[in-house]
Amino acid sequence: MKKSVVLTILLIFCGAMASYAQVISDSLASDFRTFMAKNFSRYRTVNLYWETKWAHDYTFSLDGQEVEKMRKKNLHTLKASTMIPLLKLRKVSLYANLAYSRYQFEVYDKQSGQLSEVFQQSAYDYYEGGLNGSYYFGLFNKPMIVSAALSVDGWNKGFGMFDGTFSAVMLLKNTERTSFSLGVMARTLFSSMPVMPVVTWWHRFRNPRLSVDITMPSQFYLRYELEKQRISAGASMSSENFYLRTTLEGAPSTAYYSDAVLKPEIHYEYILNHRLYFSVHAGVSMVMKSGLYKKNRKGIKVKDEEGKTEVEPVVKQDRSPIPFFNVGVSYSLFK
């Protein structure tokens, strides 16, 4: 049951991090409060990255029965996103977010050559966009940020779902070496947990180049900085999501595919100039929860080994951990 709760929290975080970027700094900006990070922009106007993963076997299960077991190869992911400030006042900000993802891979049966009933295409496109507004004020002599976001996603066949997110975060401590904040986040599209806690902690050690950066429960990094570069070791949550049509009996004809993963990794970043940034990720992708959901993102309720109810995908996917490699560039139009 504890595992189910943790997985649910992680899944919610994966879906909400894009619209939540204005409330909690992204992984590049979290510890740039130090004097050493003065050349880094807090927000990135345009982000582009390419990722490849090793070939691997996967298994889909429906009602506890194996319904498809095949192999993926030549896996490539291309993602592009932009975050544009529309309004920036002393206490109010409004941002527009747009994102595009393309997932490309080949699926085959090593023995029979049978075609997949789930992945009937070699490439899938996923679109997402929305608005995020934030209000800044003081409460109990502490800085407070309240943020609301509205987003919509889609694919080549049309629109998907609208999603609303609300968050409130209080900065409890903010010194030259330590920052700590606590808050809550809620969203309209959820499986079983509409509200969840948010905890962020950043600390710079006596060695001013070394820091720890934690956003619970989505990421943990130990970072070492030089003037124009930084290397980090840790782990973060991410997800691959897209809509697809399937002929698998018992599955939704139009389904929402979600692959929520934990990525232990080494992350290298370099400042090319005052607006352009380069990054490399290398690590292992480990499945937390993966499979096909209904278009409305709802799963099914099942009993675990202890007889407790938990939410699973309609069609569950399993695979072993696989290595990945990621190269990206970011451009900051606004300093």
Instruction: Please give the class, per CATH, of domain 2-331.
Output: mainly beta
Please report, for residues 139, 285, 317, the alpha-carbon distance to residue 180 in angstroms, rounded to integers and kept in the order given: 15, 29, 37
pLDDT tens profile 46-96: 999 999 999 999 999 998 889 999 999 999 999 999 998 899 888 999 999
Q: Look at residues 256, 258, 278 and name the one whose alpha carbon lies nearest to residue 267.
A: 278
Residue 74: both structure tokens together? 């030549």
All residue ranges of the chain with pLDDT < 50 are 1-40
pLDDT at 121: 92
Measured CA to CA, the distance from residue 20 to residue 165 in angstroms comes to: 8
pLDDT score, position 295 = 86
Q: Cα(259)–Cα(331) distance, rounded to whole angstroms? A: 28
pTM: 0.83
* pLDDT value at residue 190: 65
pLDDT of residue 188: 85
- DSSP annotation of 22: T
pLDDT of res. 38: 40
Q: How confident is the model at residue 149, as a pLDDT?
A: 94
pLDDT value of residue 262: 95
CA distance 268 to 165: 31
Structure tokens at 243: 């809509």
Tell me how crowded residue 286 is: count the other CB atoms within 10 A of its CB.
14
- pLDDT at position 183 is 93
DSSP string over 49-82: EEEEE--EEEEEEETTEEEEEEEEEEEEEEEEEE
Residue 283: what pLDDT?
98
Output the pLDDT for position 268.
96
Task: Provide CB contacts within 8 A for 36, sequence distance 6+.
Answer: 208, 209, 225, 227
What phi and psi, each to the nearest 5 degrees, are found at residue 27?
-65, -25
Contact residues for 15 (Cβ-Cβ < 8 A; gap 6+): 163, 187, 189, 239, 241
CA distances from 216 to 25, 195, 255, 304 (A): 13, 14, 29, 25
> What is the pLDDT at residue 317?
94
Q: Decide: residue 130, CB within 10 A, 0-12 exposed, 13-18 middle, 19+ buried.
A: buried
The pLDDT score that the predictor gives to residue 43 is 62
Cα–Cα distance between 169 and 16 in angstroms, integer?
A: 15
